[in-house]
Amino acid sequence: MVDLPATLFADPVWNALHSTHANFRISNQFACRYPAEVAPFGALARPTQTAMRQLYELLVPGEAIWLIGEHFPNTAGLQHENTLKCLQMVLPGKAQTVQSNVTIHRLDESHAVEMLALTNLAFPGFFRKRTCEMGSYYGVRSADGELIAMAGERMKVGDAWELSAVCTHPEHRGKGFATSLMWQVIDSQRRAKALPWLHVSTTNTKAIGLYQSMGFEEIRHVNISQYIRR
């Protein structure tokens, strides 16, 4: 197990919005969030009724948001909809980057529409039209120019940068694109002296196996809960 501070990823949304991603922060005293067009995540200073009420005030009616943590108090106007059980994993410095022969393209805001379309095939709702502003993104294109695989960065907790949006079009899976793209992101993070880490659903055993084969190690299990303002 890699040796990391116990609290480093305990609340990555709060820590990201109060460090490297402070420029995205929408907040009041005890709650904060990313802009809706950037990412559907919020956080509380502590899981109290007051903080949940302040989170409510940061949402518009009908809007959903995800919180990382345990045991959030019931709050009028906020309805719990879903909870995902995830692993947090980190890639220690000893893991070696693997080179690939896949042609990889840098993606930016001008590619947001096609990035959104691709990610909606894998995990609808989590990638937004401005998510690509959170970090660096890379993609693989088909012979006719279609974006068929991508990977990039999401939450940045100081010098620990999360890998995210790792996905491949269903018709092009099994060709090693996801692995090649992840190593591209990891290589760029290491050049920036950043620590690669990620979230993965505990039910996604195929992805967990891939990440373990790359050298990722488990940090902890976390719950990610969705709330909707009514």
> For the segment 170-197, what is each residue's pLDDT rounded down to a tens digit?
999 999 999 999 999 999 999 999 999 9
**Confidence category of residue 117, pLDDT binned at 50, 70, 90:** very high
Closest CA to 9 of 167, 165, 156, 169: 156
SS3 assignment, position 86: strand
Domain extents in the chain: 12-88, 89-218
- CATH code, residues 89-218: 3.40.630.30
What pLDDT, on a 0 to 100 scale, did the predictor assign at position 100? 82
Q: Which residues of 191-213 are buried (b: 16+ CB within 10 A; e: fewer)?
A: eeebbbbbbbeeeeeebbebbee
Q: List the beta strands (DSSP E) in 11-77.
A: 26-27, 31-33, 41-44, 64-68
Q: What is the pTM of this model?
A: 0.94
SS3 content of the chain, % helix, strand, coil (to 5): 30, 35, 40
* CA angle at 156 for the pair 151 and 158, rounded to the nearest 5°: 145
